[in-house]
C-alpha cells in the first residue's frame, strides 16, 4: 500500500480533527481552512507555545478574532512552509552535486585514457620510424587530445550551469526564510522574528555592555477607526504606520508588527535619550500623514501613535524589557496619547498631547 501512516497515527489525526472542529464550534470560530489549521495544531499538542497563547487568550475572555488568528498563525505555523522549501532545496542540491560527481569521475577516466593513448602512440616510434609512422602517432595523440578537450568543455559548461542553479536555490531558500519571518500585511518583521532578534540583541548587549532600547508603539483609537471605516482601511493604516517606522529607523534596527495594531522596534547600541528622539520622529511622521480612502479619494483625517521606550538592564530577559516598554506605552496612553514616554523623565517638548 502507498500509505506510510500507521493506523494509530490515522486514528490520532482523526481525533485531532474532530477536537479542532469541536473547539471552533465551542468558541464561535468560523470553520475556514486557516482557522482549522490553527486549531488542529492546538488539538495535536505539537506546539506548546501556541497552546499556551490560545489558553491565555481564552481564559481572559477575549475573542479569537481574525487579526488574532492571523497573528498566531504567523508566529507559530509559518515554520511549516519554510521546512518544506528547505527539504525541496536540499533534494535539488543533492541532485546537482551527484551530477557533478558523475562528470568529474567520467573526466578522470578520460584523462587516464588520454595518457594511455599518448603512451601507445609514443611506444610505436623509434629511430627507424618513417615519416608516415610519426604522422600516425601525432594523429592518434591529436584525436585523444580533442576528445579530452571536449570532455573538459562539457565539464566546464555543466559546472557553470550548476553554479547558476545553486545560486537560484540559495535565493529560493533565503526568500522562504524571509517570508517565514515577515508580516504579510505590512512587510515588516513578524512576531516570531521579533522574539528571535530581541533575544539575540539582549545577549549581545549583555556581553558587550552596549546600550539597547526597545520601542513598543500602538496606533491611537485604532479599533474605533476600524469600526468606522472598515478593515480594508484599517489595513491601509497599518501599512502607513509600518512605512513611517521603516523610514524613521536605521538599517541596524528591527521593525516588527508586534501584534494587532502594536509595533515593536529594537534599537541596538542606542541610549534612552536617542531612542526617545527616534520615537518622537516616528510619532511626528505618523501624525503628518493624511490618510486618503483609495476608492473615493476622500480624506479620512490623520492617525496618531503612542510609544513607550524600554531601556535594557543587565538582568533583563525579553519578557522584562517588553514589560517595561509596555508600561511606558500605557503611561503615554493614560496621559493623552500621541506622545512618547520612557523610563526617564520626559522633557516637556516631547509630550505632545493629542489635539
Instruction: Please identify every residue annotated as catalytic.
Output: 261
Beta bridge partners of 259: 262
**Cα(158)–Cα(180) distance, integer angstroms:** 33
**Cα(231)–Cα(69) distance, integer angstroms:** 15
SS3 category, 48: helix
Sign of CA dihedral 133, 139, 142, 146: negative
Lookup: cell for 287: 501624525
**Cα(333)–Cα(301) distance, integer angstroms:** 20
Determine the straight-line distance between the first and last CA of the chain, rounded to whole angstroms. 71
Q: Quick check: 47 and 76 in contact, CB under 8 A?
A: yes
Lookup: cell for 260: 494587532
Q: Quick check: 304 and 316 in contact, CB under 8 A?
A: no
Beta bridge partners of 311: 213
Residue with cell 517595561: 324
Amino acid at each position: 500500500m502507498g500509505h506510510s501512516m500507521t493506523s494509530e497515527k490515522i486514528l490520532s489525526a482523526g481525533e485531532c480533527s474532530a477536537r479542532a472542529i469541536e473547539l471552533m464550534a465551542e468558541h464561535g470560530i468560523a470553520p475556514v481552512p486557516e482557522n482549522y489549521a490553527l486549531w488542529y495544531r492546538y488539538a495535536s499538542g505539537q506546539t506548546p507555545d501556541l497552546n499556551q497563547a490560545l489558553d491565555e487568550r481564552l481564559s481572559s475572555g477575549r475573542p479569537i478574532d481574525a487579526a488574532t488568528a492571523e497573528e498566531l498563525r504567523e508566529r507559530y505555523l509559518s515554520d511549516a512552509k519554510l521546512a518544506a522549501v528547505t527539504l525541496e532545496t536540499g533534494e535539488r542540491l543533492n541532485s546537482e552535486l551527484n551530477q557533478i560527481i558523475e562528470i568529474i569521475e567520467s573526466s578522470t577516466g578520460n584523462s587516464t585514457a588520454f595518457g594511455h593513448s599518448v603512451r601507445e602512440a609514443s611506444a610505436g616510434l623509434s629511430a627507424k620510424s618513417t615519416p608516415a609512422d610519426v604522422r600516425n602517432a601525432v594523429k592518434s595523440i591529436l584525436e585523444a587530445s580533442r576528445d579530452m578537450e571536449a570532455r573538459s568543455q562539457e565539464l566546464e559548461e555543466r559546472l557553470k550551469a550548476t553554479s547558476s542553479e545553486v545560486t537560484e536555490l540559495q535565493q529560493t531558500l533565503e526568500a522562504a526564510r524571509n517570508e517565514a519571518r515577515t508580516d504579510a500585511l505590512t512587510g515588516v518583521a513578524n512576531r516570531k522574528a521579533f522574539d528571535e532578534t530581541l533575544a539575540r540583541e539582549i545577549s549581545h548587549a549583555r556581553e558587550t555592555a552596549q546600550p539597547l532600547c526597545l520601542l513598543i508603539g500602538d496606533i491611537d483609537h485604532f479599533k474605533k477607526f476600524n469600526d468606522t471605516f472598515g478593515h480594508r482601511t484599517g489595513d491601509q493604516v497599518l501599512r502607513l504606520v509600518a512605512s513611517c517606522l521603516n523610514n524613521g529607523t536605521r538599517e541596524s534596527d528591527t521593525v516588527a508588527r508586534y501584534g494587532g495594531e502594536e509595533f515593536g522596534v529594537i534599537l541596538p547600541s542606542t541610549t534612552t535619550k536617542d531612542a526617545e528622539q527616534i520615537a518622537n520622529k516616528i510619532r511626528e511622521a505618523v501624525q503628518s500623514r493624511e490618510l486618503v480612502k483609495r476608492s473615493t479619494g476622500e480624506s479620512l483625517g490623520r492617525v496618531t501613535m503612542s510609544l513607550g521606550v524600554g531601556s535594557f538592564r543587565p538582568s533583563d530577559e525579553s519578557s522584562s524589557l517588553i514589560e517595561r516598554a509596555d508600561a511606558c506605552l500605557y503611561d503615554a496612553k493614560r496621559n493623552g496619547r500621541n506622545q512618547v514616554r520612557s523610563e526617564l523623565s520626559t522633557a516637556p517638548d516631547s509630550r505632545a498631547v493629542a489635539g
